[in-house]
Structure formats: structure tokens, C-alpha cells
């Protein structure tokens, strides 16, 4: 079984001319401006879009060190910074409009570069602002939550929510670079940190049985935020996601859909509870439980998988049930899932630890039964 080490990890996301690197280190934030300049040799204008909770110190540290750098021709680099209110409700058309107006007022042009500093909310929102401003400018992801480090900063899904449909409007727009410093997690509240572990467990179930076993053995270290274990979990998750995205960038072949394990249920939970009430990673944990119940009902997998998944989620401090689950409220939302094909609900379901499959033609009573099994 692999063991974690304190090395700095660098992972390639191979997408032809849209390829980029994920750099994972610790106490590396002071070197971020050097990495940005090295990666984008022609940086002249940085548009820093930060979650209000990380404006000071993380975003200001990065913004001021970029401002001290020079362009190749010796000119100052312009830096503008905006703080976005924290929370899922900021993935909205209102916040997007605020960003577009601010970019205009900052005299942004096609050479400007967005630097998204925050969790998945900021990455998705700022990434979509970058994808759309003047029909697309470059952007860099600086994830500051565990969830964003292991998942949302990689792969180029950007977008906003509609009131009853998560991530319904957006674009595939790859970042030019992902810079991860695990020391910024020191200020992240426990509930958000644990939510990120939901997506980490997901990688073990969908793609990587040895990683699942490593998680079973090391959940305690992850809960204690042991830095070597955290960096190893981030690197394994990013490797897994980079491979899947490299094979199916725009979710056309079905391969990328495996990253959606638990999400058909999860997105319905988030939307029906009211955005931000159940955190994304919590909803994913519950959604994976519902998906495992559905798979057992359809005789795709055995009960042992559910037992191991339940034990690992609990060991990570995640919920495995949702008392307020209401199939009548959730089903209409699930019918707007992006995997729906001509009205046919499709689910990513587990076959065994390390392997899932995308299955259609599933009957509503089976879905209802799986939801009620987790109440």
C-alpha cells in the first residue's frame, strides 16, 4: 500500500493545448506569484476574485506579491481584487453580473487573467466569469478548501445555480494552472473541511480500490488534518480526476460521468433543502449512500459495499442519512439532472469498490425506495 510522503506533488492534466499543471505544496503561498509568472510569461493584469473569508490574509498576500512583479518589458503588473460574499448562494446570476461589471470597470481585456481564490463556489463562479468575459480569458485556480483542492479546481466545470437546478448554467473552461498550498486549510472550519472528505471517499469508490483501503486505514489521520496524509489524499484525488478528465473532457463518452457518483441525489438534496443548508460534500456522502442502496436493489452490487462505504463515511465524520429526505420534492429536481437523456433518468451506480457504471431506464419506485432507505 502506498505511503504518504512530504514531497511536493506536481500533476499534469493532459488536454492538448489546454493542458496544465496542478502544484501541491505546503507553506508555498509566498512562491505563488513566481509560479504564476513562470506559467504565464505575459501576465500584465491580474483580476483576483476571492471569497470574502480568505481575502485577508491569503488573497491579499498573493495579490500584493504579484503587484511587486514586473512584466517582461519591465512595466508594473496591474492587480485588481474583489471579495465575493461567502456561500453557495453566491453561485448566482446576480454575483456573476457584479463580476462582469467589475471586470469592465477594471479595464480588463482579453490579456487579463482571473485568479480565483476560495472554495468551489468561487472557482465555479469566477471560472464562469472568465469563460464568458470577452468570450473567454485565462484563469488560475487557487483552491482554499479541501473540496476545491481535491475536486472543483480541476477539470474546467464552471457555472452557477438556478433556483431548483444545481450548476445548470455554465461552461467547460479549463484553468491555466492550479496552485494548492495545504497551509491555507488552517483557517478552514471543520464542517467545510469534513465536507471535502465526501469527494475524497468518492474517488476510492469510483476508481481506486487501493486508495479506498488507504482511506479506511487513515481516516483518523485525515480527520486530525495530518499534513502528510492530507497532501497524499489531495494528490491521489487530483491524479484520479486528471486521468478521467484527460479521457473525457466534456463528459461525452460517459467516462467523466463517474465523477458524478452520488450527485443526482446530492444536487436534489442541496436544491430542496435550500442552497447552503446541506454542504455539497455532505450531500454527496448521503447521495452515495442512496446510490449504493439503489445498486443493491438492482442487484448490481452486494451489501458489503454499502457496509464499507457507510463505515468509511462515518469514520470521516460525514452524514450517511438525511432525515428530511422527501422523494416527492427530490424527484422533480432529479429529472433536471444533466445526465438525463430524453427524459430518462441515469445514475452512476457502484458494482464493487473501485468500479461504477452509468445506468439508465431506472424506475421511479426504485429511486424512491433508495431515498427512503436513507431517511
Ligand X SMILES: O=C(O)C(=O)C[C@@H](O)[C@H](O)[C@H](O)COP(=O)(O)O
Binding residues for Zn(2+): 199, 263, 280
Rule CB under 6 A: is residue 151 a binding residue for ligand X?
yes
Nearer to ligand X, 55 or 270 (CB): 270
CB of 170 to ligand NAD, least distance (A): 8
29-68 burial string, b = 16+ CB within 10 Å, else e?
A: beebbebbbebbeebbbbbbbbbbbbbeebbbbbbebbee
Q: Per-residue string for binding with ligand NAD, 53-82, x by CB under 6 A?
A: xx----------------------------
- Should residue 167 be labelled a site residue for ligand X when binding is judged by CB under 6 A? yes
- Compute φ and ψ for 163, nearest 5 degrees: -50, -35
> Which residue, 91 or 338, is less far from ligand NAD as judged by CB?
91
**Closest among 288, 63, 13, 56 to 177, alpha carbons compared:** 13
* 260 interface partner picked from ligand X, ligand NAD, none, CB below 5 to 8 A per type: ligand X
Nearest approach in angstroms of CB 6 to ligand X is 27
Tell me if residue 172 falls in helix, strand or coil. strand
Least distance (Å) from ligand NAD to the CB of residue 256? Answer: 10
Q: How far is the CB of 109 from ligand NAD (least distance, A)?
A: 26
**Cell matching residue 10:** 506536481
Q: Which residue has the cell 481575502?
A: 55
| Stretch touching ligand X by CB under 6 A, among 43-51, 86-94, 259-267, 345-353 | 259-267
What CA–CA distance (Å, rounded) separates 157 from 166? 12
Residues near ligand NAD (CB under 6 A) = 51, 53-54, 86-88, 91, 118-122, 124, 144-145, 147-148, 151-152, 155, 157, 167, 184, 187-188, 192, 195, 280-281
Residues near ligand X (CB under 6 A) = 151, 155, 157, 166-167, 199, 256, 259-260, 263, 338
Amino acid at each position: 500500500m502506498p505511503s504518504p510522503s512530504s514531497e511536493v506533488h506536481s500533476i499534469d492534466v493532459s488536454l492538448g493545448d489546454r493542458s496544465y499543471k496542478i502544484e501541491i505544496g505546503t507553506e508555498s503561498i509566498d512562491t505563488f506569484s513566481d509560479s504564476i509568472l513562470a506559467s504565464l510569461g505575459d501576465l500584465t493584469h491580474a483580476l483576483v476574485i476571492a471569497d470574502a473569508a480568505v481575502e485577508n490574509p491569503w488573497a491579499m498576500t498573493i495579490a500584493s506579491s504579484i503587484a511587486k512583479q514586473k512584466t517582461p518589458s519591465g512595466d508594473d503588473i496591474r492587480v485588481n481584487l474583489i471579495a465575493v460574499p461567502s456561500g453557495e448562494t453566491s453561485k448566482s446570476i446576480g454575483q456573476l453580473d457584479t463580476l462582469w461589471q467589475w471586470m469592465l470597470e477594471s479595464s480588463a481585456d482579453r490579456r487579463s487573467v482571473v485568479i480565483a481564490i476560495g472554495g468551489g463556489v468561487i472557482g465555479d463562479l469566477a471560472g464562469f466569469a472568465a469563460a464568458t468575459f470577452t468570450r473567454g480569458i485565462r484563469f488560475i485556480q487557487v483552491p482554499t478548501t479541501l473540496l476545491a483542492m481535491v475536486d472543483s479546481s480541476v477539470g474546467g466545470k464552471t457555472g452557477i445555480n438556478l433556483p431548483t437546478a444545481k450548476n445548470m448554467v455554465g461552461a467547460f473552461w479549463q484553468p491555466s494552472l492550479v496552485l494548492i498550498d495545504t497551509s491555507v486549510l488552517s483557517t478552514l472550519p471543520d464542517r467545510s473541511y469534513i465536507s471535502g472528505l465526501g469527494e475524497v471517499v468518492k474517488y476510492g469508490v469510483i476508481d481506486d480500490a487501493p486508495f479506498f483501503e488507504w482511506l479506511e486505514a487513515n481516516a483518523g489521520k485525515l480527520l486530525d488534518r495530518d499534513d502528510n496524509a492530507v497532501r497524499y489524499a489531495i494528490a491521489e484525488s487530483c491524479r484520479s480526476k486528471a486521468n478521467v478528465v484527460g479521457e473525457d473532457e466534456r463528459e461525452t463518452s460517459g467516462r467523466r460521468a463517474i465523477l458524478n457518483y452520488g450527485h443526482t441525489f446530492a444536487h436534489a438534496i442541496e436544491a430542496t433543502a435550500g442552497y447552503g443548508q446541506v454542504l455539497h460534500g455532505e450531500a454527496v456522502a448521503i447521495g452515495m449512500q442512496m446510490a449504493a442502496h439503489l445498486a443493491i436493489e438492482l442487484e448490481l452490487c452486494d451489501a458489503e459495499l454499502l457496509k464499507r462505504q457507510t463505515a468509511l463515511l462515518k469514520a470521516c465524520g460525514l452524514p450517511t442519512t438525511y432525515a428530511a429526505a422527501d422523494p416527492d420534492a427530490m424527484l422533480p429536481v432529479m429529472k433536471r439532472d444533466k445526465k438525463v437523456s430524453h427524459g430518462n433518468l441515469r445514475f452512476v451506480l457502484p458494482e464493487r469498490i473501485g468500479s461504477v457504471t452509468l445506468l439508465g431506464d431506472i424506475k421511479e419506485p426504485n429511486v424512491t425506495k433508495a431515498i427512503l432507505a436513507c431517511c
